[in-house]
Amino acid sequence: MTNSNPPSITIGVLALQGAFEEHQRAIESINNSPVPISTIQIRSPHQLSQIDGIILPGGESTAMGLIGDSTDGLWDALKNFVHGDDDGNNNNNNNKPTWGTCAGMILLAERCVGTSAVITKGQSLIGGVDILVCRNYFGSQISSFEMNTPPPPKPSSGWWDHSNNDNDGKTNEGGNNAPFPGVFIRAPAILTAGPDVQVLGKVVAAPCRAAAVVLRELENKIAAGENVVQMGVVDALEREAGGGITYSDVRLHNKKEDMTTTSATDVTKADMTTSNECLDLPGASDGSNAREVICAVQKGNILCTAFHPEIADDLRWHEYFVGMVLEAKKQRESYC
């Protein structure tokens, strides 16, 4: 029997480290919702049974991985929440949505380069999305910036009419089609996305010097036929025989489009990129290294964004995720 009453939803936010409180405030700031929305901070495996969807926040992905690995049962429970059972059947967790932002996006990647050089096992990943991520692509804390990015898709369920909502001023003028103010803080970039991954947004920017050295080494490995799953940082300095130290020549060989892949279904959203200029960041690499990189993707009920929507004065990505959670719960209840 189908329940005609809109269900209430509970969204968990992984609270090991990072901007989990900011995500909670953003979700709880959504006004005039057709459903009651509550949030809880997730720190233990048993809490996952209490939620309808989860946000993996921005922060420090290495620290999150270390804390998650050392918390009894939590990392395995998160992997099961995202992946489903051993056969990859998401019906095992009732297809509950997951959203990773910045560091949270790194955790959901299947492949990652630029991982910490001091962690023996590299970056601990949850996985679930066939993307190759470069950590700290946009540089250090001083390279933090804001730029226009494509807005989120309009929720298919039509649960939210953004044009008729005030949200206490937390919206961008222009409704759903206005550019979204993407905040990038020590942000990663998605270099490639698999054929089952929908690309929702791209930006054009040069990698920082350290990331450019990583990408140069990655190109060498790919050219040699290696299937790179994880790769650590690479020394960006060259030590001369006489004792001098110089920066490595980090000009990349490939054009910007060579490192990204899109499918025919990606074209509409990819073409909505609102800024095509090269973003010149502090500490950016030498030469014409600017390339188009992916900043937002979705695979089924898994959403990833490289930037920090919880910091922007705009709730549209949170509204979109709430729509994903609501739709998934309504589908589950329709089978009851």
- Which residues in 43-171 belong to E strands, given as ranges? 53-56, 98-101, 109-115, 129-134, 145-149
Cβ neighbour number for residue 148 with a 10 Å cutoff: 15
Please report whether residue 263 resides in a domain: yes
In a domain, 52, yes or no: yes
The predicted structure's pLDDT at residue 168: 45
Q: What angle do CA 53, 57, 59 make, to 5 degrees?
A: 165
Torsions phi, psi for 267 (to 5 deg) = -60, -45
Q: What CATH number does residue 20 fall under?
A: 3.40.50.880
For residue 43, being part of any structural domain is answered with yes
Residue 2 in domain: no
Is 1 a domain residue? no
The answer as to whether 303 is a domain residue is yes
User: Measured between alpha carbons, how far is 41 from 12 in angstroms, rounded to an integer?
Assistant: 6
Looking at residue 255, its pLDDT comes to 44
Q: Which domain holds residue 273?
A: 9-332
Is 3 within a domain?
A: no
pLDDT of 277 > 50? The answer is no
Determine, yes or no, domain membership for 124: yes
The number of distinct structural domains making up the chain is 1
pTM of this structure? 0.81
Give pLDDT, residue 270.
34
pLDDT at 112: 87
Taking only the tens place, the pLDDT of each residue in 102-117 is 989 999 999 888 876 4
What are 133-153's pLDDT values in tens digits? 998 888 777 667 888 999 999
